[in-house]
Structure 1
Amino acid sequence: MTYTKLYDKIGYTFKNEEYLNHAMTRTAYAREHEIPMSETMDSFAVLGDAVLDLVVIREIIADGEYDKGEITRKKIDSVNMTVVRKIAEELDLPSYMRWGKGEIRMQIWTSGRVSAECFEALVGAAYMDGGIDAAAKIIGTVRHTRA
């Protein structure tokens, strides 16, 4: 699979594309193709969720917010499942994912949580590839495009 269009959309090109392949591999697909579970998106989605929170909170503080409650509220408004799902859809991430046969049949990507996990996995993969700056670049590009 070629990721050229995705790279254009996210404003970042992976140095090690294996991280991106890893992030785009669903567990069901891995089971069907005898790919180790360590090469599925799950771990990157967990990492990406944490990195997404970190980057957004860092931006909120840099913008001058100091109140704990307001920081939390703004973070929740910025990275809730609805927002993250919409980002995944705008990037057309489902078309890059390697889905299991049952997932394709059920069109599981229409689930908010599943689509959100796709973006989180992308952010986690970017973090592994280029650190916090790479993840922040993607998040910033996507947020700027949406503004």
Structure 2
Amino acid sequence: MTTLEEKLGYQFQNRELLENALTHSSCANESRGKLQSNERLEFLGDSILGMVVADHLYRGHPDLPEGELTRVRAALVCEESLVEVAQALDLGSYLLLGKGEEAGGGRTRPSIQADAVEAVLAAVYLDGGIGSARKIIQKYILCREIEGIASPRDYKTALQELVQRESGQVLKYRLVGSQGPDHAKRFFVDVDLNGEPVGSGEGHSKKEAEQMAAKAAMAKLSKK
């Protein structure tokens, strides 16, 4: 835990908050009530992250219209971005997982890593206030602001442009399922090309899941 605190640049007054942030529901369920999952902290962390990023972009870019601000914020707080943060922190090594989730590779599962980042941000906020949380967001997320502005991660548009190189190509996105409570629901989407599945994705919203499906499809089609 001390090493993780050093990477965060923050020392907890209440270590139990950090332990809670790293406790996956699978571990909490196996503990028979001794441990609480990080789902509530994840819910809070998602809002904190969105607010801090939105505030920063609003104040720092008075020239950007609402649509561009929304796009850049989405690029900075998406699952892919949060997984990069988790990897920088080596967060997977500190996660408390149930036996089944551990055996299934949960430490490297993108959704679990991204959720843990949000939970840790909430734990820092509760322990040290918004200023402490803001410093970590600045260090690990807002540092990618220029990348978000210059290189939008709009995989759906990129996929559309790729397949339109040949005439008569038809793309269709299909919602194939969802799971989890309302505050932490995950959506699963497949994308078909001319009726054949070419990519699958998941995310906290249908739009994010479609983007991830488009990204997977691009990777597959680019190899052909």
TM over 0.5: yes
The 5 Å alignment of 1:42-81 reads 42-65=39-62, 67-81=65-79
**Amino acid aligned to 1:86:** E
The 5 Å alignment of 1:7-18 reads 7-18=5-16
Once the two structures are TM-superposed, the CA of residue 97 in structure 1 deviates from its matched residue by: 1.0
* Higher helix residue share: 1
Once the two structures are TM-superposed, the CA of residue 146 in structure 1 deviates from its matched residue by: 6.5
SS in structure 1 opposite 2:129? helix
Percent of residue pairs bearing the same amino acid type: 34
Note if 1:95 corresponds to 2:93: yes
**Amino acid aligned to 1:121:** A
Once the two structures are TM-superposed, the CA of residue 145 in structure 1 deviates from its matched residue by: 6.9
Runs of 5+ unmatched residues, structure 2: 146-224
The 5 Å alignment of 1:1-147 reads 3-36=1-34, 39-65=36-62, 67-143=65-141
TM-score, structure 2 as length reference: 0.60
C-alpha contact (below 8 Å) 1:19/1:125 kept by paired residues = yes
- Identify which of structures 1 and 2 has the higher relative contact order when contacts are C-alpha pairs closer than 8 Å and 6+ apart: 1
SS in structure 1 opposite 2:141? helix
What do you get for the CA RMSD once the two structures are aligned? Answer: 1.9
**Distance of 2:141 and 2:81 partners within structure 1:** 10
**Distance of 1:80 and 1:145 partners within structure 2:** 15
**Amino acid aligned to 1:105:** A
SS in structure 1 opposite 2:96? coil
Once the two structures are TM-superposed, the CA of residue 144 in structure 1 deviates from its matched residue by: 6.7
Render the CA deviation track for 1:86-110: whole Å, top value 9, x for unaligned: 1111111111111100011001232
Runs of 5+ unmatched residues, structure 1: none
**Distance of 2:33 and 2:19 partners within structure 1:** 12
TM-score, structure 1 as length reference: 0.89
Render the CA deviation track for 1:14-49: whole Å, top value 9, x for unaligned: 111111111111111112122356x21000011111
Point out the more displaced range, 26-35 or 49-58.
Answer: 26-35
Bigger Rg over Cα: 2
**Distance of 1:91 and 1:124 partners within structure 2:** 16
* Higher strand residue share: 2
